[in-house]
Amino acid sequence: MLEIKNLHASVEGEDIEILKGVNLKVNAGEIHAIMGPNGSGKSTLAKVVSGHPEYEVTEGEILFNGEGITELDADERAHMGLFLAFQYPVEVPGITNKTLLREAYNTIARANDREELDPLEFEDYITEKLDVIEMKDQFLSRSINTGFSGGEKKKNEIFQMAVLNPVLSFLDETDSGLDIDALKVVSEGVNKIANDKNAIVMITHYQRLLNYIKPDHVHVMMGGKLIKSGGFELAEELEANGYDALEKELVLNGEAQ
């Protein structure tokens, strides 16, 4: 589904390389986790895949269902089924959640020759989706993320994911800011959305999320690269020993640069 090959990316117009050769393959039905220290490039990877104009791909490629997407705008990628749950969801005063989601849902539907929903049909449709993560309907008529608590913002991202029903989702630190109850609810929601036709890449610092959403693959990102991949046990190892131990081990084995 997604294939990232030797991806290098810099800040647009500047000589700051952040991604330095990322390789990643995600198949339908899989759940991946990316862990790594602050500033290692996790969010940048997610943003570059979603088409953030702040970054420029200088080398390598991103294939989505076999098609190169690095030249596409963010909305075109969203139409193909890409979704990013932001680490820092943006507040947009004056535009309600519902307005955004209806516009987004119908734009994506149009792009894929699917039927659009009229306001009444859409009302029914999102009301149903509110249940996925136990969100109160008052959030629909509030301005996007404006005045939301940290946890509410994260929940809202997953709600949007439920409504837009993407093929491939990057969840960037969706767990941070959620208390334990909210984490359970959100995780259950994500598990309900996950199926054998879509895929999820979670970015997190904590194993606790992975206890609720079991990843098939865990990757460690350091210095703009995925330096190690493995199964769930890799997350446990990181939780127990930290990144420094991993880095030393890699150096000893001559695997680091």
Partner 1 sequence: MSEVIQRDTMLSYITGSVESSAESVAIRAINERGREDLEKTPFPTRKDEDWRFVDLKSITKSQFCKLEEANAAAVGDISEHYLPEAMNCRLVFVNGVYNEELSSVEDLPNNVIVGNLAANADNNSVKEHLGTITNYDDDVFAPFNDAAFTDGAFIYVPEETVVRTPIHILNVFTDAEKAFYATPRLLYVGEMFSKSTIIEEHIGLADNQYLNVPVTEFKMFTGSNVHHARIQRDSKKASHVSRPIAILDKNAEYHSYTICLGAKLFRNDPRVIQNAEEVNFTVDGLVLIDGDQIADTHSIMDHRFAHAGSHQLHKVVVNDSAHSVFNGKIFVAKDAQKIDSFQENRNLLLSENGKVNTKPQLEIFADDVLCSHGATIGQLQDEEVFYLQSRGLTEQKSRELLVYAFALESVESMEVESVEKLLLNEVIEYTNRDEK
Ligand X SMILES: Nc1ncnc2c1ncn2[C@@H]1O[C@H](COP(=O)(O)OP(=O)(O)OP(=O)(O)O)[C@@H](O)[C@H]1O
List residues binding Mg ion (CB under 5 A): 42-43, 87
Q: Which does 16 bind (CB under 5 to 8 A by kind): Mg ion, ligand X, partner 1, none?
A: ligand X
18 binds partner 1, rule: CB under 8 A:
no
Instruction: Give the Cα separation of 58 and 56 in Å (integer).
Output: 6
Phi–psi pair at 41, nearest 5 degrees: 115, 15
Within 176-235, the residues that bind partner 1 by CB under 8 A are none
Furthest-apart CA atoms within the chain: distance in Å: 62
Residue from 1, 22, 24, 43 binding ligand X (CB under 6 A): 43
Q: Are 82 and 50 in contact (CB under 8 A)?
A: yes
Q: Does 8 bind ligand X (CB under 6 A)?
A: no
**Do 109 and 116 meet the contact criterion of CB atoms below 8 Å apart?**
yes
Can you tell me the distance from the alpha carbon of 236 to that of 31, in angstroms, rounded to the nearest whole number? 17
Residue 61's DSSP bridge partners are 5
Segment interacting with partner 1, rule: CB under 8 A, options 52-60, 121-129, 188-196, 203-211: 52-60
Q: Is residue 57 within the footprint of partner 1 (CB under 8 A)?
A: no
Interface residue with partner 1, options 25, 29, 56, 107 (CB under 8 A) = 107
- Is residue 90 near ligand X by the rule CB under 6 A? no
CB-count burial class (<10 Å; 0-12, 13-18, 19+) for 253: exposed
Give 54 or 61: the residue with its C-beta nearer to ligand X: 54
CA angle in degrees (0–180, nearest 5) for 61-67-70: 40
Which of 62/132 has CB closer to ligand X? 62
Q: Which of residues 155-214 bind ligand X (CB under 6 A)?
A: none
- Residue 77, both tokens: 């990628």
The contact set with partner 1 (CB under 8 A) reads: 50-54, 73-75, 77-79, 83-84, 86, 89-90, 92-95, 99-101, 103-105, 107-108, 111, 143-144, 160, 164
